Amino acid sequence: MASVPIPTNLRAHLRAHAGVLLLCGTAAWAQSDPREATPNQAEKRSGVVVTATRTERPSFDLPVSIDRVDADAIRDGQQQVNLSESLVRVPGVVVQNRQNYAQDLQISSRGFGARAQFGVRGVRLYADGVPATAPDGQGQTSNFDLGSAERIEVMRGPFSSLYGNASGGVIQVFTEDGPPGPTLSASAFAGSWGATKLGLKYGGQSGALNYIAGASRFDTDGYRDHSSATRDLANAKFKYQAGEATRVTFVVNAVSSPAQDPQGLSAAQVAQNRRQVDPASLAFNTRKDVSQDQAGAVVEHRLSGSDTVRLAGYGGSRQVEQFLSIPLAAQNAVTSSGGVVDLDRGFYGVDLRWTHSAELAGAPFFFGTGVSHDYQKEARKGFVNNFGNPGALKRDEDDIVWSTDLYAQGDWKFAPRWSASAGVRYSTVHFSSRDFFIVPGNPDDSGDMQFGNTSPTAGIVYSASSSLNFYANIGKGFETPTFAELAYRPGGATGLNFALQASTSTHEELGAKAFLPGGQRLTAAVFRVDTKNEIVVDTSSGGRTTYKNAGRTERRGAEVSFGGKASPSVDFLAVATYLDARYRDAFTSGTPAVAVPVGNYLPAVPRRTVYGEARWTPAGPGMHTALEVFYRDRVYVNDQNSEAAPPYSVVNWRIVFEQRASAWVLSEFLRVDNLFDKAYIGSVIVGDSNGRFYEPAPTRGYTAGATASVRF
């Protein structure tokens, strides 16, 4: 057989890390028998995913790092409020629950997105195919309904770039289909610090129409002072089979979430009282109120046995009012935007795709190509925060960002043991700002900017047996600045920050996937990511933050996941990530400017994270109990690495009961989080100009809940 050429840099990476994969692969091969599992059995055990290729494929056969978290894991003794509950099971991904519902989760994938100060950036988010990430790369997760989620797919590595701007990783939440017969479910839980959640869900099948709809309300007083929140969420999906060749899916989602904002604490404040808030948060009544409604539709039509077209569209609106704690003197400065942010956003998008299945040189071949367009227009106003009340107008502008992307992707099983995947995406991202607040000393800040990028990626799979695959991939990605990062220029100059460039990255990865005879699954990957023009804070003063490109960074890491049955009554999961993320170029940052030397670590990126879970089912499916153990290494809070949140480990425990009788299913759970009452920092605010970097996590907490379902 002809040899396959390996790029020089990937060959060096293979030599550097081959031991990890060789160890994992040898262990799997030594225990596995190719006759033990047929390809169909392997496909069933691996789980089908769509994120990697946009069509249903077994993850075992793909040259990508992708994990699927199913409904059982999402809902097994969990509150079903935040992605942090479920994604702890996925290597390479860090989800820091701020315990602050005025700010979104802090999500990073292989270090991308770790420095986000608000919302989620660097990771693309989707709910039933509808983007939860704006064209500029800023996203949010508040509309994800975990109570009706069928699965969550999480992809890391170069193939993520086929989703366009800011694709350091991709997270997709998929709503479940309705059950065969009409079924009504009600759920409730109550927990520490005034946390409660009530939910109702109804679904079924009526002729060609499948439907599911749910609604919930979550309330909490918050672990810290001034951190109460409410979240009302509704989600529905309707799927109609309009003939043998056509299927229509309609999704609708709405969320409303007022929340107080406790903001961060300094190290001294944490040591004094970890549940307190800074006096400025109370003086200015920091808070955030979010309301969002959106709908989407997908039409899939099979043209022939080998050709399918898919047309998707979505639209919606989002309103945000946020009160910040900026000193009045700074707010009253002529160039300040004030301390109240008022956003009224409208957005829509379309995606048209054609897929073709055939044979190429006598081997199975799949090809897909498409075009997408996403548009967002935001009316942004700023007011003085007059100690919790809106004051004088300080900002008035319309911000528009749109992206148009062309993409293509193919898979070819060119030999009995070999298959290849490749794709490319060309993206155009355009920013436009029209300033209507023009006064003496604050001139017209209008401006336009545009970024373009081509992101190719390729991967190859070698099937050593029906139970063991090795793979390699390589690709490029990019990340534009967000509108918030473009908003200001250094030195008080007006207009968008035209000097700010998009960050680009090159990804390389080697991996192995194996099924073992005892029913366990093992995955392992080593990777390297080199970036240019990393976007970092330049100056921050008086509520006005500017950004710049810092040069090069390097991320080297490894991920391992091992899980399955240890015995007929015990199953387990062990997940570990090592990530060494550092700056390769020196630069200065902050006010006053401070040098950041070569070799400093990227902030908010832990070098090591480990998760382990053991679940025991002693007497059939009616009861099970589990222990969860989580470790996270220290994380630096700024580019200078002058302070850090220390490492920590926590243990959680849960027990679940279930009863079935005729058409009824009842379940109850009790969980204890932070079983040993550990005091630790749950998340950090990168580069906070006031030095309030730390968001303490709750001490020991209890939750009890129940669900009842009846089939009519």
Domains observed in the chain: 8-711 (2.40.170.20)
pLDDT of residue 543: 62
CA 390 – CA 374 distance, rounded (Å): 32
**Residues 6 or more apart whose Cβ sits within 8 Å of residue 297:** 248, 249, 250, 251, 312, 313, 314
pLDDT of residue 30: 35
CA proximity to 149, closest of 57, 51, 73: 73
Question: Residue 81 corresponds to which amino acid?
Answer: V
CA 401 – CA 431 distance, rounded (Å): 5
- φ/ψ (deg, to 5) at 326: -110, 130
Edge-first strand order for the sheet with 130-131 is 65-70, 149-156, 169-175, 124-127, 130-131
State the CB neighbour count (10 A cutoff) for residue 609. 21
Angle at 41 between CA 35 and CA 47, to 5 degrees: 140
Q: Please, what's the largest Cα pairwise distance for the chain?
A: 80
Which pTM value belongs to this model? 0.92
Task: Report helix, strand or coil for 333.
Answer: coil
Task: Report helix, strand or coil for 537.
Answer: strand
Eight-class DSSP state of 481: P
Measured between alpha carbons, how far is residue 283 from residues 103, 105, 325, 393 in Å?
19, 25, 8, 20
pLDDT of residue 659: 94
- Range list of H helices, 349-496: 483-486
392: exposed, middle or buried (Cβ count in 10 Å: 0-12, 13-18, 19+): exposed
Contact 642, 673 (CB under 8 A): no
What averages of pLDDT result for each successive group of 10 residues across the chain (712 residues)?
A: 37 42 38 38 65 92 96 94 94 87 89 84 92 91 93 95 90 96 97 97 97 97 96 97 96 97 96 96 97 96 96 96 94 90 96 95 94 96 96 95 97 96 97 93 88 96 96 96 86 80 96 93 97 88 79 96 94 98 92 89 96 92 94 95 96 96 94 97 89 95 97 93
CA 117 – CA 150 distance, rounded (Å): 30
pLDDT of residue 105: 84
For the chain, the straight-line distance linking the first and the last C-alpha, in angstroms and rounded, comes to 60
CA 612 – CA 493 distance, rounded (Å): 51
Report residue 566 as tokens: 């240890």
State the CB neighbour count (10 A cutoff) for residue 433. 21
Angle at 273 between CA 269 and CA 279, to 5 degrees: 60
- φ/ψ (deg, to 5) at 657: -120, 150
